[in-house]
Structure formats: structure tokens, C-alpha cells
Structure 1
Amino acid sequence: MYLLIINPASGGGAGQRTWQTVEGLLKSRGIAHEALFTRSLEQAEAQVLHALARREDWRAAIVIGGDGTIHSVLGALRRRGVPLAVIPAGSGNDTARGFGIPLTIEAALDAALQDRCLEADLLSGSGGLTLTAVASGFDAQVAVNVNNSRYKRLCNAIGAGQLAYIIGILHTLLTFKPCRVSVTLDGKEQAFEQAWLVSVCNLPSYGGGLLICPQAEAGDGLLDVCVVHGCSRGQVLRLFPTLLKGTHVALPFVSMLRGRSVAVHFAQPRHAIGDGEPLGTAPLAVRCEPGALRVLTPLAAAAQVGAAEAGSCQASG
């Protein structure tokens, strides 16, 4: 039995449209399933926990939505030990990208039903659990501005979710002011002047495919950290096209760090986001929780790992 977790409003209504297609495919294949529509991201975890507690034979929870919808149910899936599968229907869909999950509906469903998974790390902090990245500073402000904008809805409607982030970058660049930041990695503190952003990543990209930490691997037990500091507005603007290929890592005003825990303290209050969802403006403390989540992904078969690492994803309850 599969639990389908659907956010109908995700991606400007793409969640509802995607579910209609998936429902038809599941029925035509005779696959047992139950549908759960999330009323809000704030209530999703409680809804999912209640649903998962009703039976012990869940093979997986298949989320139809975006990174924010996935973010909202991570705690429930971890507590119940049920694997995550994704059929992307959001604006950014970076979780799907990071796990090699196809962005087309039927191919993503096929990946969800193939019963092979990888163990993935989770990022844990005061704001809860995060799967893709915890970002603070400029890019978090971009996300806040985009989420509060009218142009995000328009971009989603025409299938151009990444365009909303590009508009948001230009919007935010006009008003954002860099400041000093302290980054403490595995107990060792470093200070950066005129810092624009600090991103703590578990997957290579966020923001709709921007490769902030291209070397990040979800199952390596490590956090990958990108700090952009000591540069002008013009340099920041020229930085963002390089994020499409991850070549920014060679720039002199970009520092790449790696460790198991990180604390971030800006000299002035700065927004933070986890999986694109707001985490407030308090200083960050994030630690890696290795192998805390199982994810159904085509990468499991491609990696040709042994049964101990991939194996069956049958939930233990």
C-alpha cells in the first residue's frame, strides 16, 4: 500500500493536475494506494503521522508537490521509518533533481514504484528537519521575496518556476546590504567580512537548479557550506549565472567548507530558509544526521549498491 501525499496548490496548481494524472495511472495498473490531501504545510506532519499510524504495511509515502511539501513531512516519515518517493510538482523541484528523479510524471511514478532506495542524510536544527539546504542571507531573502510576490504565481502558471527566482535576485539585489558573519564548523570559528550569504547544503542545488554546492552528496554524512563574501553588487550579479554550472566555487570571493555541524551568526538579523521554507532570522545551528531518511530513487539501481545499502524499501512500520 502506498500513501500519496498531495499538495494541490503546489506549483501554482500543478500538484492537483499531477495528481489527476497519477491517479489514473495507479488505477490502470491496479496499485493499492490511499490519497491524503494536505490542508496546509503547518498541519501536514500531523496529518501524515495520523495516516501512517493506521496501518503497518506502507511501502512508501509518495509526495506530489514541491520541496516545501516534502519539508513539511520529513519529521513524520523519519519517525515512522517510511521511505520517501517524489513526483515533482513544485516551483524548484530540487529534491527530485538531487536524487535523479525524473521531472516527468509517469517516469517519476515508475521511480517511486521500483522499490529500491538510498539512505539520505537530514539537516537538523531548531527549525526542524531539512533535506536540500539551509540557506541564510541574500539567497534566503530572495526566497522570502519570491514567496511573497505575485510574479511567482505567474511564473508557475507558465511553467517557468526558475524565472521567478531570477526576478527575485534582481529585486533583492537593489536593497540587500552585506555584513560580517561568523561561521563555526565542527567547533572551529571563521569570520567573513561583508558576507552576502551562507548556505548549508545536503544536495547540490536549490532555487530551481542553482548548483550552490555542486559537490554535495546526500549520503556522505557531511554538510557542504558555501560562503559568498567581500564582493560588490556587480560581482554578486555576475555570480548567479555561474551557479547554473557550479563554476562559482573557483571565484576568490566564494569559500567552500565541509563538516558535520555548523553555526552561523550574522552581525545583523538575516532571514534563513530550509527547503525554501522560512526559518526566521535567529542565528543558525545545523547538524548532519547521517542516513536518517530512505529515498526511492533511480540512483539506487545506478549505483549498484549491495542489499545492505539499497535493498528493499519495505517499511518497518
Structure 2
Amino acid sequence: MYLFIINSRSGGGAGLRTWHTVQALLEARTVPYEALFTRSADSAEGQVLQALALREDWRAAIVIGGDGTIHSVLGALRRRGVPLGVIPAGSGNDTARGFSIPLAPEAALDTALQERCLEADLLSAAGRLTLTAVASGFDAQVAVNVNGSRYKRLCNAIGAGRLAYIIGILHTLITFKPCRVSVTCDGKEQSFDQAWLVSVCNLPSYGGGLLICPQAEPGDGLLDVCVVHGASRVQLLRLFPTVVKGRHTKLPYVTMLRGRSVAVRFAQPRHAIGDGEALGTAPLSVRCEPEALRVLSPLAAAAVAGTTGSCHASG
């Protein structure tokens, strides 16, 4: 039995449209399933835990929504040991990109039903689990601005989710002021003046495909960190086109770090986000939770023999 977790409002209504497509495919293929429509991010984890407790034969929980919807149910899936499937229907869809899950609904469904799993790490920060990245500073402020904007809804309506983030970057660039930050990676502290952002990544991209940490791998037990510091506004603006291809990592005002735990303390309060969802403005302590989640992914077929296979919930 498959549990489908649907956020009908994700992607400006793309979640509901995608569900209608998927539901027709499930009926045509006579695949056993149950559908759960989440009411809000705050209540989603409880809803999913309650649904998963009703039976023991769940083959997977398949989310139809965006990265924020996935974020809201990570705790429930980890507690119950149920594999995660994704049919992307959000603005950024970076979880899908990070695990090579197709963006087209039928192809994504095929991937989930093949039941090939990867063991993925999770990030633990601010009492929450995160799958893609924990970001603080400028890019977190971009997300806060985008999520509260009218242009995000407009961009989603025309199928241009990434455009909303580009607009958000320009919007935030006008008002954001960099400050000093202390970053402690595996116990080694470094300080950076005029820091714009600190991103702690588990997957290579966020923000709709921006390759912040192109070398990040979701199952290596390590956190990849990008610190942007000492750049002028013009340099920062020029940085973003290079991030699309991951070519920013060798710039003199970009420092890349790697470790199992990271602490971030800005000199002034700065927003932080996990999977695009708000984590507050307090100093961050992020640690890697190795192999804490199984994810249905085409990448599993290319993994080392003996480490993957048909994956089922542990109940």
C-alpha cells in the first residue's frame, strides 16, 4: 500500500493538478493507495504519523508537493522508517533535482513504484530535520521575501518558479546589509567579515536549481558549507549567474568547508531556512544525521551492488 501525501496548494495549485494526473494513472494501473491531503505545514507531521500508524504494510510515502511539504513530514517518515517518494509540484523542486527524480508526474510516479532506494542523510537544526540545505543570511532573507510576495504566486501560475527567486534576489540586494559571522566546522572556528550568507548543504542545489554546493552528496555523512563574504553588492550580483553552474566556488570571496557539524553565529540577527521553511533568527547549530532516510530515486540503480534493492518500511 502506498500513502500519497498531497499539498494541493503547492506550486500555486500545481499540487492538486498533479494529483489528478497521478490518481488517474494509479486507477488505470490498479495500484493500491491511500491519499492524505495536508492541511498545513504545522499539522502535516501529525497527520502523517496518524495515517502511518493505521497499518504496517506501507511500501512508501509519496509526497506530491514542493520541498516545504517534504520538509514538514521528514520527522514522521524517519520515526516510522517509511521510504520517501517524490512527485515534484513545487516552486523549486530541489529535492527532486538532488535525487535525479523526473519533474514530469508520470515519470516521477514510475520512479517511486520501482522501489529502488538510496540511504540519505538528514540535517538537524533548530529542532527540525532538513533534507536539502540549512541556509542563513542573504539567501534565507531572499526566501523569506519570496514566500511573502505576490510575484511568487504569479511566477508559479505561469510555471516559472525559478523566476520568483531571481526577482527575490534583486529585491533583497537593495536592502540587505552584510555583517561579521563566526563559522565553526567540526570544532574549528573561522570568522568572516562582511558575510552575506552561510549555506549548510546536503544536496547540491536549492532556490530552484542554484548549485550552492555542487559537490554535496546526500549520503556521504558530511555537510558541505558555502560562505560568501567580503563581496560588494555588484560582485554579489555577478556571483549568482555563476551559481547556476556551480562555478562560484573558486571565487576569492567564496569559502567552501566540509564537516559533520557546523555552528553559525552572525553578529546581528539573520533569518535561517531549512528546505525553504523558516527556522528563526537564532544562532545555528547543524549536525549531520547519517543515512536517516530512504529515498526512492533513479540513482539507486547505479549504486554499488548490495547496497540497494527493493525497499520497504520497517513498520
Q: TM-score, normalised by structure 1?
A: 0.99
For residues 226-241 of structure 1, the aligned pairs below 5 Å read 226-241=226-241
Equivalent in the alignment of 1:291: 291
Equivalent in the alignment of 1:312: 310
- In structure 2, give the amino acid aligned to 1:306: A
Equivalent in the alignment of 1:265: 265
Equivalent in the alignment of 1:278: 278
For residues 295 and 251 of structure 1, the distance between their equivalents in structure 2, rounded to whole angstroms, comes to 33
For residues 179 and 292 of structure 1, the distance between their equivalents in structure 2, rounded to whole angstroms, comes to 34
TM-aligned CA deviation for residue 125 of structure 1: 1.6
- In structure 2, give the amino acid aligned to 1:245: K
Q: Which runs of 5+ in 2 are unaligned?
A: none
For residues 302 and 149 of structure 2, the distance between their equivalents in structure 1, rounded to whole angstroms, comes to 39
Equivalent in the alignment of 1:196: 196
For residues 164 and 197 of structure 2, the distance between their equivalents in structure 1, rounded to whole angstroms, comes to 19
Equivalent in the alignment of 1:174: 174
Query: Alignment identity in percent?
Result: 83
For residues 267 and 97 of structure 2, the distance between their equivalents in structure 1, rounded to whole angstroms, comes to 34
For residues 23-38 of structure 1, the aligned pairs below 5 Å read 23-38=23-38
Find the residue that maps to 2:175 and give its secondary structure: coil
Equivalent in the alignment of 2:53: 53
For residues 311 and 172 of structure 1, the distance between their equivalents in structure 2, rounded to whole angstroms, comes to 45
Alignment size in residue pairs = 315
Q: Which runs of 5+ in 1 are unaligned?
A: none
For residues 302 and 158 of structure 1, the distance between their equivalents in structure 2, rounded to whole angstroms, comes to 35
Find the residue that maps to 1:310 and give its secondary structure: coil
Equivalent in the alignment of 1:100: 100
TM-aligned CA deviation for residue 302 of structure 1: 2.4
For residues 311 and 68 of structure 2, the distance between their equivalents in structure 1, rounded to whole angstroms, comes to 23
For residues 124 and 264 of structure 2, the distance between their equivalents in structure 1, rounded to whole angstroms, comes to 14
TM-aligned CA deviation for residue 254 of structure 1: 0.2
Q: RMSD of aligned C-alpha atoms?
A: 0.5
Equivalent in the alignment of 1:19: 19
Residues 129-182 of structure 1, C-alpha deviations (whole Å, 9 max, x = no match): 000000000000000000000000000000000000000000000000000000
Equivalent in the alignment of 2:40: 40
For residues 50 and 98 of structure 1, the distance between their equivalents in structure 2, rounded to whole angstroms, comes to 29
Equivalent in the alignment of 1:243: 243
Runs of 4+ in 1 over 6 A off after TM superposition: none
Find the residue that maps to 1:64 and give its secondary structure: strand
Equivalent in the alignment of 2:65: 65
For residues 79 and 119 of structure 2, the distance between their equivalents in structure 1, rounded to whole angstroms, comes to 15
For residues 79-90 of structure 1, the aligned pairs below 5 Å read 79-90=79-90
TM-aligned CA deviation for residue 126 of structure 1: 2.0
TM-aligned CA deviation for residue 306 of structure 1: 2.3
- In structure 1, give the amino acid aligned to 2:16: Q
1:185 aligns with 2:190: no
TM-aligned CA deviation for residue 250 of structure 1: 1.0
TM-aligned CA deviation for residue 115 of structure 1: 1.0
For residues 286 and 292 of structure 1, the distance between their equivalents in structure 2, rounded to whole angstroms, comes to 15
TM-aligned CA deviation for residue 310 of structure 1: 1.1
TM-aligned CA deviation for residue 312 of structure 1: 1.7
Q: TM-score, normalised by structure 2?
A: 0.99
Find the residue that maps to 1:26 and give its secondary structure: helix
Equivalent in the alignment of 1:254: 254
Find the residue that maps to 1:87 and give its secondary structure: strand
For residues 241 and 316 of structure 1, the distance between their equivalents in structure 2, rounded to whole angstroms, comes to 43
For residues 302 and 86 of structure 1, the distance between their equivalents in structure 2, rounded to whole angstroms, comes to 19
